[in-house]
């Protein structure tokens, strides 16, 4: 009997010894020890695992997600889902065997959110967006995109926030915080220096260390430190001769050592040959997944090119991510987020972010009951958002005719009918010759001058909508994109001349994804409104602004130059005059195979201020229907940097909000510095006429620092600092001073040091 019990006990012990641990948040290392080499390798490669990764559409509970991680059932490791996109969740709207359509909310694009200069508003928007991620069963939203607006022609600028890293970084932090408040993750992207779409898979961005640290990495740093995104997405491009996804300097030394990032790093969607180098550099997950990547990892561990320690480090990062996800928690998603409530959030966000660029003789607001002649094919074919990963399958898009009617205006029916007839004709013409339906926006079409003259006589005002769209995979052109087309210029000239002759006002609405040229034609308009690409409810928000239901309070997150070549970066950017050049032999092609960021730190307003270049509209500019006074500036030195406050008073006749910007120039001497740099910003509540609010700011000594390349450190200079409280980069309203009594230095890793 004793012998039998002894044998039974031995068998039970053996059974326990070989039992598989079930993954929990507390036993990750135990699970890693129990995994085979092949299991570890597959966990580091996305779930597509097919050479045809670019054609994969995920099936299962989250159809149309961009990618996933691979499950390992024996450890209780589930599949997790990664979904686009920055202005709304992008999933497949239809499902086999189901009659329902699974729509998502089309929110304002990133550039419009940044135009709010309101982190609380951004967080409100992305809290709603994150709820849709959760309730449709996804685990990570592949956003926000935060790359700097280096040049107006970048095709994905609409996804990004600003030319300034402080505005970009703080808006990104609010975006991340809002999404992740739903216990789903974000993937801040594209890390780093992904500032053009031309040859985006292979272009080598050649950037000085100072420009990297101060401009192109600083916004990522702010967001990572403040909001702790679950994941970071490395970009396609090379950086100073090395793919970012294979750069230990970028992914380990900067991201983890300097900034303290503890999450997971994934690639952008592709399959580069250097998988082994990516693993060693600290790129944990290869997306969307390719069988060869798994094979490379296994072979490299076996022959010693990847150590077990490095492999386990990356697997640990992936598992730490997985245990946070709704999929791991077994969350029972509803597939039924409150889209009606979210549409209201989208409308509010658009209205609070729209920028009023021009308002001669208080043209706006209108009374709200005028009869309007509405010009421009974009008044019907309204651009809610960009293309590519930024697209959203939304239930509807309110167009400008509908938005203005909803606001109480009467729309002359002849023009919408004219544009709709053209769209129908175009579709019929394409069909009869066997072409696919048009999947891009319609170009502007002429309107006869005699028709405009007739409309000027029977309408109270004209609204001209100028539309642009852009997206993933290509950059914009100068001709007919940054600049007006011949048809658009003729239309605007004729409308302006004929309506002004009749004593009527002309309003232009810029329904654009990126900066366009305005200096040559803005005098033709009495008012110019900039809603960018404002989401599915954006036209209703425009109507609210035009009718005075909402006082515009948006401000520009980037400069509008007079001409394209006023940007220093334009001399090293793939505009159409170089994009179609043919390579001679194996000679690398400038701005295509490599791009020199020769302008250094002189990006956006830093350049225009420093070199005295005239602009059409400065960074931070935006008008209001009321006026504001800035008073009682207080600036005090602290143990670490300074604190500041200013009182803003509404001195006009209607309620409104004001965005306040804090600019600081460095003391003279030492490194060459910009004339001034944005260091903080804030926005008032809705102030009634005569009402005041005091805004307060805190800026650390580190936030005042510049990067000394020679010493490889951040340096905050000793001396007197003047703090400017401003309504734009060109309009300092009042000032205060403080003294930094001693210089400060902050060491960093040796990343990028040759």
Q: Which structure tokens are listed for 679?
A: 């260091």
604-637 CB burial, b ≥16 within 10 A, e <16: bbbbbbbeebebbbbbbbbbbbbebebeebebee
Structure tokens at 199: 């040859």
Peptide bond into 509 cis (omega under 30): no
* Complete DSSP assignment for 246-298: G-HIIIIIIIIIIT---SEEEE-SS--S-HHHHHHHT--BBSS--HHHHHHHH
The contacts of residue 522 (CB under 8 Å, 6+ apart) are: 357, 358, 528, 616
Q: How far apart are CA 567 and CA 721, in angstroms?
A: 28
> Positive or negative, the Cα torsion across 686, 692, 694, 695?
positive
* Three-state secondary-structure class, residue 630: strand
Q: What are phi and psi of 242, to 5 degrees?
A: -135, 135
Which tokens is 427 given?
A: 């579709």
* Active site residue ranges: 268
Phi-psi group of 318: left, alpha or beta (phi > 0 → left; psi -120 to 50 → alpha; rest → beta): alpha
CA 240 to chain centroid = 24
Q: Which residues pair with 411 in a beta bridge?
A: 372
SS3 668: coil
Question: In angstroms, rounded to a whole number, what is the distance separating the alpha carbons of residues 63 and 392?
Answer: 14
Cα 599 to Cα 601: distance, rounded to the nearest angstrom: 6
Instruction: Judge residue 589's burial from the number of C-beta atoms within 10 Å of its C-beta, 0-12 exposed, 13-18 middle, 19 or more buried.
Output: middle
∠ CA 272-246-255, nearest 5°, is 140
Backbone angles phi, psi at 617, to 5 degrees: -140, 130
**Distance, CA of 101 to CA of 93 (rounded, Å):** 5
The DSSP line for 558-612 is S-EESSGGGSGGGGGS--HHHHTPPP-TTPPPBTTTEEE-TTTT--THHHHHHTT
| Spatial CA neighbour of 266 closest among 117, 141, 129, 123 | 141
Q: Is-contact 271 329, C-beta < 8 A?
A: no
Q: What are the residues whose beta carbons fall under 8 Å from the beta carbon of 315, sequence distance 6 or more?
A: 32, 35, 40, 43, 44, 284
Backbone angles phi, psi at 194, to 5 degrees: -95, 75
How would you class 344 by CB atoms within 10 Å of its CB: exposed for 0-12, middle for 13-18, buried for 19 or more? middle
- Angstrom distance (rounded) from CA 213 to CA 95: 46
Buried b (16+ CB within 10 A) or exposed e, 554-584: bbbbbbbbbbbebbbbbebbbbeeebeeeee
Spatial separation of the C-alpha atoms in residues 571 and 578, rounded to whole Å? 10
For 2, which DSSP code? H
């Amino acid at each position: 009997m004793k012998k039998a019990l002894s044998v039974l006990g031995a068998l039970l012990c053996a059974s326990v010894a070989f039992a598989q641990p079930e993954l929990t948040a507390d036993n990750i290392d135990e699970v890693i020890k129990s995994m085979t080499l092949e299991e570890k390798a597959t966990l580091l490669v996305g779930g597509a695992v097919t050479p045809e990764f670019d054609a994969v559409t995920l099936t299962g509970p989250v159809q149309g997600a961009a990618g996933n991680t691979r499950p390992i059932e024996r450890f209780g490791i589930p599949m997790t889902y990664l979904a686009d996109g920055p202005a709304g969740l992008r999933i497949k709207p239809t499902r086999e065997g189901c009659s329902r359509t699974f729509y998502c909310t089309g929110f304002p694009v990133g550039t419009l959110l940044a135009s709010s200069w309101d982190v609380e508003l951004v967080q409100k928007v992305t809290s709603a967006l994150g709820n849709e991620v959760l309730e449709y069963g996804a685990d990570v939203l592949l956003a926000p995109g935060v790359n700097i607006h280096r040049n107006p022609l970048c095709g994905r600028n609409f996804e990004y926030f600003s030319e300034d890293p402080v505005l970009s970084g703080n808006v990104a932090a609010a975006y991340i915080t809002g999404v992740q408040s739903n216990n789903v993750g974000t993937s801040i992207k594209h890390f780093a220096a992904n500032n053009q779409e031309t040859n985006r898979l292979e272009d080598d961005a050649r950037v000085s260390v100072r420009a990297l640290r101060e401009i192109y990495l600083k916004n990522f740093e702010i967001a990572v430190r403040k909001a702790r995104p679950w994941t970071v997405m490395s970009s396609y491009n090379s950086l100073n001769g090395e793919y970012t996804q294979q750069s230990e300097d970028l992914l380990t030394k900067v991201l983890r050592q300097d900034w303290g990032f503890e999450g997971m790093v994934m690639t952008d969607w592709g399959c580069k040959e250097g998988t082994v180098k990516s693993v060693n550099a600290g790129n944990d997950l290869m997306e969307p997944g390719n069988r060869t990547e798994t094979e490379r990892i296994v072979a490299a561990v076996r022959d010693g090119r990847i150590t077990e320690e490095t492999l386990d480090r990356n697997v640990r990062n992936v598992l730490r991510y997985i245990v946070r996800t709704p999929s791991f928690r077994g969350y029972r998603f509803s597939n039924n987020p409150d889209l009606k409530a979210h549409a209201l959030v989208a409308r509010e966000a658009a209205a609070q972010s729209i920028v009023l660029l021009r308002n001669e003789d208080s043209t706006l607001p209108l009374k709200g009951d005028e009869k309007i002649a509405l010009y421009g094919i974009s008044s019907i074919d309204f651009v809610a958002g960009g293309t590519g990963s930024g697209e959203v399958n939304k239930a509807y898009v309110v167009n400008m005719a509908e938005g203005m009617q909803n606001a109480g205006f009467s729309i002359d029916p002849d023009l919408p009918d004219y544009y709709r007839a053209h769209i129908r004709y175009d579709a019929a013409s394409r069909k009869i010759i066997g072409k696919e339906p048009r999947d891009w926006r319609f170009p502007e079409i002429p309107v006869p001058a005699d028709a405009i003259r007739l409309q000027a006589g029977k309408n109270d005002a004209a609204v001209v909508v100028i539309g642009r769209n852009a997206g993933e995979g290509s950059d914009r052109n100068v001709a007919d994109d940054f600049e007006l087309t011949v048809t658009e210029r003729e239309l605007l000239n004729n409308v302006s001349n004929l309506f002004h002759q009749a004593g009527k006002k002309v309003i232009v609405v810029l329904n654009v994804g990126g900066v366009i040229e305005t200096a040559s034609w803005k005098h033709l308009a009495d008012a110019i409104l900039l809603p960018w690409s404002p989401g599915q409810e954006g036209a209703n928000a425009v109507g609210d602004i035009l009718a005075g239901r909402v006082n515009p309070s948006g401000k520009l997150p980037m400069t509008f130059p007079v001409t394209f070549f006023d940007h220093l970066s334009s001399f090293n950017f793939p505009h159409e005059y170089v994009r179609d050049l043919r390579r001679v032999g194996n000679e690398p092609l400038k701005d295509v195979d490599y791009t020199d960021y020769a302008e250094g730190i002189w990006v956006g307003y830093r350049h225009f201020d420093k070199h005295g270049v005239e602009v059409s509209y400065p960074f931070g500019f935006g008008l209001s229907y009321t006026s504001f006074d800035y008073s009682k500036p207080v600036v005090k030195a602290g143990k670490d940097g300074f604190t500041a406050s200013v009182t803003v008073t509404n001195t006009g006749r209607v309620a409104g909000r004001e965005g306040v910007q804090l600019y600081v120039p460095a003391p003279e001497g030492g490194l060459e510095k910009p004339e001034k740099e944005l260091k903080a910003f804030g926005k008032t509540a809705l102030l009634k006429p005569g009402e005041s609010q005091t805004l307060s700011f805190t800026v650390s000594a580190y936030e005042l620092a510049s990067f000394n390349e020679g010493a490889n450190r951040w340096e905050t200079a000793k001396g007197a600092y003047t703090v400017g409280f401003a309504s734009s980069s060109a309009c300092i309203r009042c000032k205060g001073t403080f003294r930094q009594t001693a210089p400060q230095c902050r060491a960093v890793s040796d990343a990028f040091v040759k």
